[in-house]
Amino acid sequence: MTNKAKSVGVIGLGSMGMGAAKSCIRAGLDVYGFDLNPKALEELNLAGAKGVSSSALDFAEQLDAVLVLVVNAKQVNSVLFDSGLAAMLKPQTAIMVSATISAEDAKAIHHKLSQHQLLMLDAPVSGGAAKAATGDMTVMASGSLEAFEKLQPVLDATAAKVYNIGEEIGLGATVKIIHQLLAGVHIAAGAEAMALAARANIPLDLMYDVVTNAAGNSWMFENRMKHVVDGDYSPKSMVDIFVKDLNLVADTAKELKFPLPLSSTALNMFLSASNAGFGQEDDSAVIKIFDGINLPGVEK
């Protein structure tokens, strides 16, 4: 029987990581938080963390589990391997890799972790900052029974739904990539609809109200088009994140020789937004690629 994790290190205290870390504290786990942002460290410290640092090496020996909530595979490799962390963790420490990465990257990370006798759960998450804050994320995970068992307390603390996709590393990553196809297309379609409403001089708050009470609604429309109505593009998730994620979708499709007409179009819309200088704004800023319309809070 695997010993269940009692102490967890959370690497990456952005909107998702902070919520997950606080959820683990509420569940009674010993939580250590790691981020380069001193404000994030201070916030988690005040929330009751056992320890915080800009480097996970400071507490490596205290950890039974590590939750990695960074942006991409390069950052995962950086925090686990370039830093020397993997070599310092106790054997059988479970690593929950929750970045959106390709199946190929997930397998490569697993291979390197196993050389240090570390367990890995390929465990992308969804639900945004709000679900992370309440411990209600959706986790789509693949990995060994041992990794699932050891991480059970962390999964219980952070997620409302945990899908076990199978033992093979890379399956979790692939399910998340397919999910991101929908998320990206829904944002792009929502932006197109609201841009058309703006062109037709229909008040956007009215259009938003109609759609969110009718059959054309989606979670992404309801969440992201509210930012457009409010004219607030401060990033919860950035345009450039969807450039990355829809590129992962395209790479997966290319490997499977499978055509994806809608996500290809959505990717081009996000690329246009990034190219126009909106890459670091909220992903709803994809609406700014449309000319000849007036948007709330956006100067022409």
Classify residue 24: in a domain, yes or no.
yes
CB 49, CB 78: distance < 8 Å: no
Classify residue 209: in a domain, yes or no.
yes
CB 133, CB 19: distance < 8 Å: yes
User: Do 100 and 126 fall within a single domain?
Assistant: yes
Residue 114's CB: how many other CB atoms inside 10 A? 12
User: Do 12 and 154 fall within a single domain?
Assistant: yes
User: Do 196 and 179 fall within a single domain?
Assistant: yes
User: Do 160 and 179 fall within a single domain?
Assistant: no
Written as one letter, the residue type at 237 is S
Last residue in a domain, options 140, 169, 198:
169
User: Do 123 and 179 fall within a single domain?
Assistant: no
Last residue in a domain, options 152, 169, 186:
169
User: Do 21 and 129 fall within a single domain?
Assistant: yes
Rounded to an integer, what distance in angstroms lies between the CA atom of residue 106 and that of residue 171?
Answer: 9
Residues of the chain with pLDDT under 50: 1
Classify residue 297: in a domain, yes or no.
no
Cβ-proximal residues to 244 (8 Å cutoff; 6+ apart), any chain: 71, 72, 100
Residue 90 region by backbone torsions, left for phi larger than 0, else alpha for psi between -120 and 50, else beta: beta
User: Do 163 and 207 fall within a single domain?
Assistant: no
CATH code (residue 23): 3.40.50.720
Beta-bridge partner residues of 95:
66, 120
φ/ψ of residue 255, rounded to 5 = -60, -35
Which run of H or of E encompasses 161? Answer: strand 159-166
Largest CA distance in the chain: 64
Which run of H or of E encompasses 67? Answer: strand 65-68
User: Do 182 and 116 fall within a single domain?
Assistant: no
Q: Measuring CA to CA, how many Å separate 30 from each of 27, 49, 133, 169, 176?
A: 9, 7, 17, 27, 28
User: Do 94 and 130 fall within a single domain?
Assistant: yes
Rounded to an integer, what distance in angstroms lies between the CA atom of residue 172 and that of residue 103?
Answer: 8
CATH code (residue 241): 1.10.1040.10
Check residue 299 and give its pLDDT: 79
User: Do 148 and 17 fall within a single domain?
Assistant: yes
Range of the domain at 220: 174-289
Written as one letter, the residue type at 286 is V
- Catalytically active residues are 176
Check residue 300 and give its pLDDT: 65
User: Do 250 and 278 fall within a single domain?
Assistant: yes
User: Do 137 and 206 fall within a single domain?
Assistant: no
Q: Tell me the whole-structure pTM to 2 decimals.
A: 0.94
- Total domains, the chain: 2
Check residue 199 and give its pLDDT: 98
Classify residue 300: in a domain, yes or no.
no
Classify residue 294: in a domain, yes or no.
no
Classify residue 295: in a domain, yes or no.
no
Last residue in a domain, options 142, 169, 196:
169
Cβ-proximal residues to 221 (8 Å cutoff; 6+ apart), any chain: 186, 189, 190, 193, 211, 212
Classify residue 1: in a domain, yes or no.
no
